[in-house]
Amino acid sequence: MKTIQAVSYPVHFQEESYTELNNLINKNNYSTIFILVDENTFEHCYPKFIPFLDTNKTIELIEIESGEINKNLETCIGVWNAITELGGDRKSLLITLGGGVITDLGGFVASCFKRGIDFVNIPTTLLSMVDASVGGKTGVDLGVLKNQIGLFANPQMVLVDHQYLETVSEREIKSGTAEILKYGLTYDVNLFHQIKNNKELDISDLIFRSVEIKNEVVLQDPKEQNLRKILNFGHTLGHAIESFYLESEDKENLTHGEAIAIGMVCECYLSHKLLNFPVDKIHEVKGVVLSIYDKTNLLKEDFSAIMDLLKHDKKNVNGQVNFVLLNDFEDFKIDCKVPEDLIVESLEFYNE
């Protein structure tokens, strides 16, 4: 499978990618190679990865606890201390092996350690393969606010190998599917139809096409002034819903994809109300979403807390929430202001 050249780094696929990684390591004469894992990727992915690594450099493993709840600065401090104690210097390389928490946090850790060391991302979940592999976003959460602290920073390369998907749950695969749906709705409706019709999905093709799309989008609009905002479709409301469930002690957390899928249904509804997004397509999107994900029961009494979280969205400016909405599939409009009562209505529409 061919390499995709992202803005400042390549995304390599499947087995060839390890050859590229070994070349990188040999070429750069790194002092130490740190591999960041969590307890799951250590158990399931590390044994699949390590036979491909061909180097006589010192390898140091750093393990953090899995889960979004640990994607915070306390964990970063722990990793920075570990790298320091293990003798990390400016010529160290950090390889992240895991889902979005590991790749986002690891990229941030590497970019700030002694003002920046090289890092390589190996996403092991569908979500991180199709979403976090391109775009150079790194970061961690601040309290319940997702990715509040972070940077744009480019890895040396990204390796996408779908063998790691054997190690994750069906729920995680579904979580990543939401991002593929998003590329379908906003950029290439074929992807949406493929998922809707669901006949023998070739996951490796879906991943490649998603990375390709994200890369096209980021290349065309690196500074997130226009086109790149489509990547936020479903995420404005989705993030608020995800944060709400994360901070509610008596509710089970939603996966990122589950929350984003709800966000996309609601934002299709807003698109219909404020633009001319066709009514039958809202129902089509909701149908596909509910065919993949269990229905979440959003409680009316929780709406105001969700609205509050919405006001903290990173993309807000001057206290104004900005949505990207759809005129139609593959046809977006950025910076849409939405009245608060309409947002509530859209949550109710999802609930119906």
Q: Tell me which residues touch its own copies (CB under 8 A).
A: 31, 73, 76-77, 80-81, 84, 87, 89-91, 111-116, 137, 139, 142-143, 145, 147-152, 312, 314-319
CA dihedral 215, 163, 184, 158 (to 10 degrees): -10
Nearer to its own copies (CB atom), residue 112 or residue 203: 112
* Residue 154 C-beta: closest distance to its own copies, Å: 13
* Residue 138 C-beta: closest distance to its own copies, Å: 8
Nearer to its own copies (CB atom), residue 117 or residue 195: 117
* Residue 98 C-beta: closest distance to its own copies, Å: 21
Nearer to its own copies (CB atom), residue 191 or residue 321: 321
Q: Which residue from 204, 210, 147, 201 is spatially nearest to 178, judged by alpha carbons? A: 210
* Residue 179 C-beta: closest distance to its own copies, Å: 19
Alpha carbon 25 to chain centroid, angstroms: 26
* Ramachandran bin of 258, using left for φ above 0, alpha for ψ from -120 to 50, beta for the remaining angles: alpha
Q: Is 170 exposed, middle or buried (0-12, 13-18, 19+ CB in 10 A)?
A: exposed
Nearer to its own copies (CB atom), residue 111 or residue 271: 111
Nearer to its own copies (CB atom), residue 59 or residue 173: 59
* Residue 139 C-beta: closest distance to its own copies, Å: 7
Residues 282 and 303 sit within 8 Å (Cβ to Cβ): no
Q: Is 124 exposed, middle or buried (0-12, 13-18, 19+ CB in 10 A)?
A: buried
Compute how many other C-beta atoms are within 10 angstroms of the C-beta atom of residue 269: 25
